[in-house]
Amino acid sequence: MSPAREISKPRVRFAPSPTGRLHLGSARTALFNWLVARGSDGTMILRLEDTDKERSSPEFEHDILGSLHWMGIDWDEGPDVGGDHGPYRQSERMGMYGEYARQLLGQGKAYRCYCTSEELDARKKAAIADGRAWRYDRRCLELPENERGRLESEGVPYTVRFKVPAGTVTVEDMLRGDVNVDASEIDDFIIVRSDGSAGFHLAVVIDDMTMEVTHVIRGDDHLTNAVRHVLLFEALGARTPKFLHHSLLMGPDGSKLSKRHGSTSVSDYREKGYLHEALANYLALLSWSPGDDREIFLLPELVKEFSIAGVSASKAIFDFDKLNWLNRKHMRRLSASELTDLVVPFLEREGRDAQLALPREKLELAVESVRNGMEVLGDAVEPTDVFVRPAGELDDKARAELRKSAELDDALAMCAEVLGAGPSADMESAERMVAALREGAKGKGWGAKKVLWPFRLAVTGLTVGPDLVYLIIFWGPAGCAERIDATRATMEASGV
């Protein structure tokens, strides 16, 4: 296929190395590419740069693919779905790289370098000692033919270096404008290693060229690489894709986000109980703005609103508090049933068999009752313990608080009277009962707490818990009255 073929719709790629779990910064790059593809009816390509045999692993590949899918990011071409431009693993494309390297050698645009790493290191140290800037000195470019022939006949290992032409190299970046670099500042960089494998620069350019990538969207740490990539595209007679180098993801202290700032992988946040909608929403807002004050977006809304024009070159500071705020907002959009479905795996992980054994409608009610106190899904685990506590079981704090109440008997008697013997209650009737308790306290000249506080302590056996309305709905008025009686019996047995 011709790399210069006219392509009307964007073809973008995300090209991670399976040498670690998917980092939040990489996920943001993937998201930006995906939004461009989906928002323009373009093509999303997933390519695995797996040539680092020592560090690449199937485990990391599984994490990357799984994390992307969890975030809602899919692709049209890739190692698991195929496509017309494969293979999509660099380890399976080595033969292709060799062909293009030989083409560059044959055209005099590259040359063999027989310098060993030890020789290069010695010359570099000598240059630094003399106060000179070190760049490869092109010693092997002008080797006499007889010397070159001898080295070849003896099978001396060599690398292949790209011969950087004189002049100015321009990277046209959609975010940063034209970036101009004098070619004299660039080494004749290695495009084939001494073991015959393609170097990073050659592999990436050939992949983008043969996969007909039209837009390269990646972090600005690749801006210096882009200078070399432009040279290779031009040397190979290929159209240079459009570049956008967005800012890197930084920690709160302004340094690159790393493990010292906390969790950094997508799977970490999935395991902690963040919603994929919230994480994608937050990552999209880092260096991108819709042009108004909106902050809450679902993926379809991001696809509709996202544009390259809205991307900023400003620093992207990861704000954990902002992510938590967005996660709470997205959790509130879920129905009780949807939220419960997401909480169940966390109850299972923590061994909360008693909660899991509740009838489904009761479990949904328990989860709904603690929703407002949740920041992540796992926050529902401990607070829902209240709904499976045995009646009359008091923790030390609750017992001490009940002992302080001078009007305990009268307060609990009022609670039992207001609750009556009804078997069930809905939100409206439960709210009426709580209002009646407040009025009853007022009628005795008490503050509402003198009744509502003992009510909570007696029903739950704890000093903290869900709103009283949910307690009444969950256990029913009669059930709450029975739990109050059980608490009174416990207190009497302890001599109070």
Least confident of 7-11, 192-196, 271-275, 357-361: 7-11
Candidates 3.90.1170.50, 3.90.800.10, 1.10.3720.10, 3.40.710.10; correct CATH number of 94-198? 3.90.800.10
What average pLDDT is seen over the chain? 93
pLDDT digits (tens, 9 = 90+) for 63-77: 999 999 999 999 999
CA atoms of 362 and 358, how far apart (whole Å): 6
pLDDT at 496: 57
Residue carrying the six token digits 């599984």: 62
Q: Which range has the worst mean pLDDT, 194-203, 233-242, 409-418? A: 409-418
Range 251-261 burial, b when 16+ CB lie within 10 A, else e? beeeeebeeeb
Inter-residue contact 201 to 232 (CB < 8 Å): yes
Q: What was the pLDDT predicted at 7?
A: 65
pLDDT of residue 493: 86
Residue 353 CB burial class (10 angstroms; 0-12, 13-18, ≥19): exposed
The predicted structure's pLDDT at residue 1: 35
pLDDT of 53 reads 81
Task: Evaluate whether 22 touches 265 at the Cβ level (below 8 Å).
Answer: yes
Angstrom distance (rounded) from CA 369 to CA 468: 9
Instruction: Please identify which residue in the block is written with the tokens 């404008």.
Output: 177
What is the pLDDT averaged over residues 301-317? 92
**Structural element, H or E, at residue 182:** strand 177-182
Q: Domain 396-493, what architecture?
A: Orthogonal Bundle (1.10)
pLDDT at 324 over 80: yes
C-alpha to C-alpha distance for 351 and 353, rounded to whole angstroms:
6
Q: What is the pLDDT of residues 374-407, one digit of tens each?
A: 999 999 999 999 999 999 999 999 999 999 888 8
pLDDT of residue 181: 96
CA angle 404/408/412 to nearest 5° reads: 145
| Active-site residue (options: 256, 259, 444, 449) | 259
Give the pLDDT confidence score for residue 265 in this predicted structure: 94
C-alpha closest to that of 272 among 345, 355, 373: 345
Position 493, amino acid: A
Residue predicted with more confidence, 142 or 80: 80
**Taking the CA atoms of the chain, what radius of gyration do you get in angstroms?**
33
Tens of pLDDT, residues 433-491? 999 999 999 999 999 999 999 999 999 999 999 999 999 999 999 999 999 999 999 98
- Active site includes 53? no
What is the distance between the alpha carbons of residues 284 and 185, in angstroms, rounded to a whole number? 35
pLDDT score of 214 more than 90: yes
Strand segments (E) across 235-313 = 242-246, 249-250
% of the chain with per-residue pLDDT over 70: 98
Sequential DSSP letters for 376-390: SGGGGTTGGGGGGSP
Instruction: Assess contact for 133 and 247: CB atoms under 8 A.
Output: no
Q: Hey, what CATH class is 11-79+201-250 in?
A: alpha beta
Among residues 344, 335, 333, the alpha carbon closest in space to that of 377 is found at 344
Could you report how far apart the first and last alpha carbons of the chain are, in Å?
89
The band of 2, judged by pLDDT with boundaries at 50, 70 and 90, is very low
Count H helices and E strands in the chain, helices first: 19, 11
pLDDT grade for 3, boundaries at 50, 70 and 90: very low
For 87-144, how does the pLDDT look when each residue is reduced to its tens digit (9 = 90+)? 999 999 999 999 999 999 999 999 999 999 999 999 999 988 988 888 899 999 989 9
